[in-house]
Amino acid sequence: MLLVTVGQRLASRIAARGPIPVSEYVEACLYDPDGGFYMRGGRAGGRSGHFLTAPEVGPLFGAVLARALDGWWARLGEPEPFTVIDWGAGPGTLARSVVAAEPRCLSEGVLEWIALERSPAQRALRPDHPAVKSAARLSDVLPQPAPAGVIVANELLDNLPFDIVRRTPGGWEELRVAVGEASGRRGFSLVGVPAPAELVAGLPAVAVGARVPVQRAARDWVADAHRVLGAGWIVALDYGADTRTLAERAGPSDDPGAGLGWLRTHRHHQGGSSWLAEPGSCDISADVALDQVQADHRADVCSQAEFLRTHGIEELVAEGRATWDARAAVGDLEAMRARSRTAEAETLLDPAGMGGFRVLSWSIGS
Ligand SMILES: C[S@@+](CC[C@H](N)C(=O)[O-])C[C@H]1O[C@@H](n2cnc3c(N)ncnc32)[C@H](O)[C@@H]1O
């Protein structure tokens, strides 16, 4: 059998139709059913993953979320069921930590956790627990049209396909993916074409030459999420900044393909692979343009550190310290877990790292 790679399929498409939008290229690189990075099993995680996310740092993030869930459940009047949709759940690590933390909504038997994940390879790793369901699409599992609960999306929005535009003296051009010669090698590269008006509608003025992401899929996700819940909260945690700040990070350049400071790649915990080489071989993500995703629905925004402190991370670390003091001599698993909370908290709260991530929350039906 002749195996055709994602790159070959993309090259044929470009040969047939001309340069393609970056969003189409990124969609194939990440989610092509036969070779997209996530579809082949690429994922967040330590040894078997390619990059670390907050739930993959350790169980502390899930323990804090478990406390937050009990708080939200109480504020909603303790609905039954209490539905939590973990959108872009990866291998289900967050569900595992929340279950292990035993929030009251779980012990009262009302928590219904829906792990939504596009990648079948990752869905196969979901925790086996009666409260946890796993699905590729919400329509496959949602028991009622408008449940009361919470949608959590940790590092989902940065992984939704985005387009790229560049400011010109007269307006904007769209950068599309073409096949051409670069440094003496044939490969994918970016070319500029006139930008469709709907692509650049609402973008702020930035310096001529600056390149910014256009995140329509992320904005549409916010609208979709608003249609799902009858009451509760949508909480999206991610790295990001306003479009103007992202424009400064990419810097003006005459070369459309020159480094984009807001575009990240990950492979085996290393950044910096070229996203235009070997499609499907690495994660590709864009810092979330916070103004764009709030264009239709304004959110409350805080840092991840503030969010975690609001929901009791410091109490959990103090509890861990007390357990360690009491059990250090025993040195069992419980003692080790308790001690590791301090190190996990440092990572999660680091203002230069995950602590500086943004948390966008939308309150629904209040
Ligand atoms: C960066 S990973 C984050 C995984 C997990 N939330 C975490 O924090 O470790 C993003 C995940 O979102 C999934 N994803 C992307 N688009 C999705 C969609 N529309 N529905 C469900 N999952 C999606 C990807 O397959 C990937 O596993």
Least confident piece of the model among 15-24, 46-55, 233-242 = 46-55
Distances (CA, A) of 364 to 5, 231, 237: 43, 5, 17
CA–centroid distance, 118 to ligand 1, in Å, is 7
Q: Atom 23 in ligand 1: which residue has the minimum CA distance?
A: 88
Structure tokens given for 9: 């399929």
**Ligand 1 site, CB within 6 A:** 38, 43-44, 53, 55-56, 87-90, 93, 116-119, 122, 154-156, 159-160
Q: Atom 12 in ligand 1: which residue has the minimum CA distance?
A: 88
Average pLDDT, the chain: 93
CA–centroid distance, 89 to ligand 1, in Å, is 5
CA–centroid distance, 88 to ligand 1, in Å, is 3
CA–centroid distance, 168 to ligand 1, in Å, is 34
Domain spans, the chain: 6-45+159-222+237-293, 54-158+223-236+299-364
CA–centroid distance, 116 to ligand 1, in Å, is 8
Q: Is the pLDDT of residue 321 over 80?
A: yes
Q: Is the pLDDT of residue 1 over 60?
A: no
User: Which CATH topology does 54-158+223-236+299-364 take?
Assistant: Rossmann fold (3.40.50)
In angstroms, the CA 304 to CA 356 distance is: 6
Per-residue confidence (pLDDT) for residue 143, from 0 to 100? 63
User: Best mutation site among 32, 159, 216, 357 for ligand 1, i.e. most ligand atoms within 8 A of its Cβ?
Assistant: 159
Per-residue confidence (pLDDT) for residue 256, from 0 to 100? 64
What 104-111 contacts at long range (C-beta under 8 Å, 24+ apart), as own/partner pairs, is: 104/70, 104/73, 105/69, 105/70, 105/73, 105/78, 106/66, 106/131, 108/78, 110/73, 110/78, 110/79, 110/80, 110/81, 110/82, 111/69, 111/81, 111/82, 111/84
CA–centroid distance, 42 to ligand 1, in Å, is 11
CA–centroid distance, 206 to ligand 1, in Å, is 30
Could you identify the atom of ligand 1 that is nearest to the CA of residue 221?
Answer: 19
Three-state secondary-structure class, residue 86:
strand
**Average pLDDT, stretch 178-200?**
89
CA–centroid distance, 156 to ligand 1, in Å, is 5
**Do 61 and 54 contact (CB within 8 A), yes or no?**
yes
Q: Is the pLDDT of residue 336 over 90?
A: no
* CATH tag, 6-45+159-222+237-293: 3.40.50.12710
CA–centroid distance, 213 to ligand 1, in Å, is 19
Residues in the chain, overall count: 366
**Average pLDDT, stretch 303-329?**
93
Q: pLDDT > 90: what percent of the chain?
A: 79
Per-residue confidence (pLDDT) for residue 50, from 0 to 100? 85
Q: Atom 3 in ligand 1: which residue has the minimum CA distance?
A: 155
Per-residue confidence (pLDDT) for residue 257, from 0 to 100? 63
Q: Atom 19 in ligand 1: which residue has the minimum CA distance?
A: 118
CA–centroid distance, 122 to ligand 1, in Å, is 9
Q: Atom 27 in ligand 1: which residue has the minimum CA distance?
A: 90
Per residue in 29-76, pLDDT tens?
Answer: 999 999 999 999 898 888 888 888 999 999 999 999 999 999 999 999
Going by pLDDT thresholds of 50, 70 and 90, the confidence category of residue 186 is: confident
Q: Which residues pair with 283 in a beta bridge?
A: 266
Among 191-195, 268-272, 338-342, which range has the highest average pLDDT? 191-195
Least confident piece of the model among 174-183, 190-199, 214-223, 346-355 = 174-183
What 189-196 contacts at long range (C-beta under 8 Å, 24+ apart), as own/partner pairs, is: 189/256, 189/257, 189/276, 190/22, 190/164, 190/256, 190/257, 190/276, 191/19, 191/256, 192/166, 192/168, 192/256, 193/19, 195/165, 195/171
User: Best mutation site among 56, 94, 156, 238 for ligand 1, i.e. most ligand atoms within 8 A of its Cβ?
Assistant: 156
User: Best mutation site among 87, 118, 222 for ligand 1, i.e. most ligand atoms within 8 A of its Cβ?
Assistant: 118
Going by pLDDT thresholds of 50, 70 and 90, the confidence category of residue 255 is: low
Could you identify the atom of ligand 1 that is nearest to the CA of residue 44?
Answer: 9
Q: Examine domains 6-45+159-222+237-293 and 54-158+223-236+299-364 and report if their fold is the same.
A: yes
